[in-house]
């Protein structure tokens, strides 16, 4: 494909309200014709994400580009022989970073990239700067006017767009159908209560990989007794039922913030 003009701005468009509002500021600054909305589809998303994605793109008037890996979540897990987690987020790399980075490299290697990191996540910007360079990273929501989460929802509705339904269901992020492997215990407890079928799918994935590897391969870790050990989702169910979970341990996604080369090596050797 022909390389686009150097002045183009790539808005990393994840399907969350923050990425939409960051893209809106980019469009306001550079113009819709100079912005590309780049969405890397994990093929593991809630259906309503796609509705929000397209309504948002239509409102912004910028071109929406959708890319995806040759793998979906299950085929990637089978290929790696491991379960992704906060310790080894190979799904981050293979399903998000690789297809998006390849598209940018092939089409707009010198472009400014826009990310939906808000002011209360400003510390996350350092990873982007290390990977891309300070001159290629812009996080508009880290600049005034600063918005809290409820204000972001109001801003989206003011555009005539209903926010993705995962937020209304109590999820902090609109990614991976509510099941982010980098999320904390509170987020997974909420997933079990709000979307038990999604929780069960991940529980079955853990069980399948653990049976193949002959040891517990888990998303979560137990640190309650001073020693860190694997915590299978099948066991975590009981802790949720007994209300023995820190519901403030939400954690969260950060799919474009760091490289995952070390995580891939970890997955091959230690998971």
* Domain parsing of the chain, residue ranges: 9-168, 185-241
Q: Give me the residue label for tokens 């299950």.
A: 74
Helix (H, G, I), strand (E, B) or coil at 138: strand
- Cα–Cα dist 180/173, whole Å: 9
pTM of the model: 0.89
CATH match for 9-168 among 3.40.930.10, 3.40.50.2300, 3.40.50.620, 3.80.10.10? 3.40.50.620
Q: Assess whether the previous peptide bond of 252 is cis (omega < 30° from 0).
A: no
Interatomic CA distance for residues 107 and 232, integer angstroms: 42
Are 158 and 226 within 8 A, CB to CB?
no
Per-residue pLDDT of the chain (271 residues; tens, 9 = 90+): 445 655 699 999 999 999 999 999 999 999 999 999 999 999 999 999 999 999 999 999 999 999 999 999 999 999 999 999 998 999 999 999 999 999 999 999 999 999 999 998 888 888 899 989 999 999 999 999 999 999 999 999 999 999 999 999 999 999 999 999 999 999 999 999 999 999 999 999 999 999 999 999 999 999 887 889 999 999 999 999 999 888 888 876 555 555 444 443 433 443 3
């Amino acid at each position: 494909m022909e390389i686009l003009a150097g002045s183009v701005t790539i808005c990393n468009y994840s399907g969350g309200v923050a990425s939409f509002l960051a893209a809106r500021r980019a469009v306001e600054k550079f113009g819709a014709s100079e912005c590309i909305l780049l969405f890397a589809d994990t093929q593991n998303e809630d259906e309503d994400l796609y509705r929000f994605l397209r309504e948002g793109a239509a409102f912004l008037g910028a071109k929406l580009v959708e890319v995806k890996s040759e793998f979906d979540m299950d085929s990637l897990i089978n290929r790696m022989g491991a379960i992704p987690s906060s310790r080894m987020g190979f799904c981050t790399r293979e399903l998000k970073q690789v297809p998006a980075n390849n598209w940018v490299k092939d089409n707009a290697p010198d472009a400014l990239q826009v990310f939906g990191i808000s002011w209360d996540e400003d510390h996350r910007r350092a990873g982007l700067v290390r990977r891309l360079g300070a001159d290629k990273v812009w996080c508009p929501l880290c600049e005034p006017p600063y918005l809290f989460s409820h204000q972001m929802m109001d801003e989206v509705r003011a555009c005539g767009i209903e926010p993705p339904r995962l937020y209304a269901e109590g999820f902090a992020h609109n990614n991976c159908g509510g099941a982010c492997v980098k999320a904390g215990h509170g987020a997974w407890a909420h997933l079990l209560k709000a979307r038990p079928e999604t929780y069960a799918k991940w529980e079955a994935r853990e069980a399948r990989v653990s049976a193949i590897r002959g040891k517990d391969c888990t998303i979560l870790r137990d640190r309650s007794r001073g020693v860190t050990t694997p915590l299978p989702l099948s066991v975590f169910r009981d802790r949720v039922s007994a209300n023995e979970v820190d519901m403030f341990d939400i954690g969260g996604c950060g799919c474009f913030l760091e490289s995952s080369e070390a995580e891939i090596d970890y997955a091959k050797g230690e998971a």
